Structure 1
């Protein structure tokens, strides 16, 4: 049903809601070698149906079908949302502070994580040194009590790069924030944005999908595709790895 990859971790989600993980640093493989004998299911998720998985550089986030969030992996920047200092987790940890909030999506970037509620509320935690949490500052957050405001628009999707973030609203508008080092924010500059900023060149367009690579952002507009070259973003020539 879905696959998500970090720097060393590959996570698969089956159509029955089962999660399978493999750490390529311990179990190296090439695409032709992939088989389910290489993968293992985290014990904490063995009897739980999962609807979404997302991987950051060294951590993973899962959303269950009943709206609960689990995180595991490296927690050097608070990306697991456990509220502790540098407490890595080898097994999925339940984020109980989000239990009462009806959630529809989780997303993960380099060392940041997000959860999206049914009402369009966005909760972010983890690394924030480039403003990738969109809070107007560069202070990291170790808990999920940070709420991101994008005017009065309802957010329906979140995508994360290594240290930048893009959100899509119900009306088809796109806001980006975080690192602009390679032009990945689409604002005709290489500046960082600490708060969500509307991509003005898309004004009036109806964007239906967004996806962030490591240092890039790709959009799909209703009835036609938009390539990064059509927007004032990096064409990839300045980046050794485009993350797509």
Structure 2
């Protein structure tokens, strides 16, 4: 159970794999980033900050500074950039860092080395580069993607696809090797690796080079998407949840006869949330995906998860070789109910921050 704390401090709460505290069981734990990272006085972590947790590291972006903490060695590194960090996305091996001035860097997590990615000047005429800026970034272990203000998709560094002028890109999400994109009118596109059905196109395919509309969701206005590992999720404007891909840990959340461990669903499946007598049907607003778990938040701010029980999975007195596949369960935080929480999933973590 989490504890109450000073709301002005840059604190986070982590459930599951916690690179700052490997002695814990995986229960939700409060972390003060300044106490944990111990940055130089001139480089203190301030709110708001961004955090990514991989299978081995925690990466925290605050202002112009990027902090890397290794769970394996306990070593910490600080890297400063010339402009504030506005977006951060991490895989096991590297992360993408987008700066306020428009520059994009690739940071090698193990070598602690950053390099500027300048593919826009290669792909575009020099006179156009000042007008076209990167607006979205995301990376997985086998894919790194950037989208520009000109609606162009780069599978970095290659220019892959340009959406028509009328399309407004709202969100980009990636798993280990596949990508999802959400547009302003609620359409969802997918591309990348699809051997576990994670593209949602009804096919098992090694690779799909360009974004293609997920036809099974056509006519359903989608308001949020997520990708993690080899599965995907989407929330509709009506508050429904659709999941597809590899159900290796029950992360697709089906609580009926379809809930078969290891089964692949290559088309989006509507997820049923059982309700008791007299209870209102859940109206979901957000979805998040990790390697083997899916997290959703409803309109009242209540959190539910399916797949790996991250607390029990990391507590060797409770761990089960074959997890029970019980659909979505409520996730209790113990935090003040009057404060809006921001969530994110790491590969084997749930990360919570306060607004």
For this structure pair, what is the TM-score category when the shorter chain's length is used for normalisation? 0.7 to 0.9
- Is 1:196 aligned to residue 328 of structure 2? yes
How far residue 168 of structure 1 moved from its aligned partner, in angstroms, is 1.2
Task: Specify every segment of 5 or more residues in structure 1 that has no aligned partner in the other structure, as ranges.
Answer: 23-37, 223-244
1:1-244 mapped onto 2 (5 Å cutoff): 1-15=135-149, 17-22=151-156, 38-43=157-162, 45=163, 47=165, 48-86=167-205, 88-136=207-255, 137=259, 138=261, 139-149=263-273, 151=275, 152-180=281-309, 183=312, 190=319, 192=323, 194=325, 195-202=327-334, 205=337, 206-221=339-354
CA gap 1:185/1:15 in 2 versus in 1, 3 angstroms = farther
Q: SS at the partner of 2:146?
A: strand
Kindly indicate whether the alpha-carbon contact (under 8 Å) linking 1:161 and 1:212 is maintained by their aligned counterparts in 2. Answer: yes
Q: CA–CA distance in 1 between the matches of 2:193 and 2:304?
A: 28
Aligned-partner Cα distance in 1 for 2:334–2:319? 18
Structure showing greater radius of gyration is 2
How high is the TM-score relative to the length of structure 1? 0.74
Task: Assess if the C-alpha contact under 8 Å between 2:233 and 2:288 holds in 1.
Answer: no
Give structure 2 stretches of 5+ with no counterpart: 1-134, 276-280
**Is the 8 Å Cα contact of residues 134 and 178 (structure 1) preserved in structure 2?**
yes
Q: Which moves more between the two structures, 131-140 or 204-213?
A: 204-213
Contact 2:245–2:264 (8 Å) recurs in 1: yes
Q: In 2, distance between residues paired with 1:168 and 1:181?
A: 17
SS in 2 for 1:202: coil
The whole-number CA distance in structure 2 between the counterparts of 1:87 and 1:161 is 21
Greater strand percent: which structure? 2
Q: Is the CA contact 1:124–1:148 (under 8 Å) kept in the aligned structure 2?
A: no
**Secondary structure, aligned partner of 2:205:** coil
Q: Which residue of 2 aligns with 1:28?
A: none
Tell me the distance in 1 between the aligned counterparts of 2:313 and 2:223. 26
Distance 1:20 1:199 in 2: 36
Q: Deviations over 1:168-201 (max 9, x none)?
A: 1111111111123665799x95464631110134
Question: Higher relative contact order at CA 8 Å, sep ≥6: structure 1 or structure 2?
Answer: 2
Q: How many residues align?
A: 205
Contact 1:184 1:215 in 2 (8 A): no
Length-normalised TM-score, structure 2:
0.52
Distance 1:176 1:103 in 2: 20
Residues 130 and 153 of structure 1: is their aligned pair in 2 closer, same or farther, counting only changes over 3 Å? same
Separation in 2, partners of 1:51, 1:179: 29
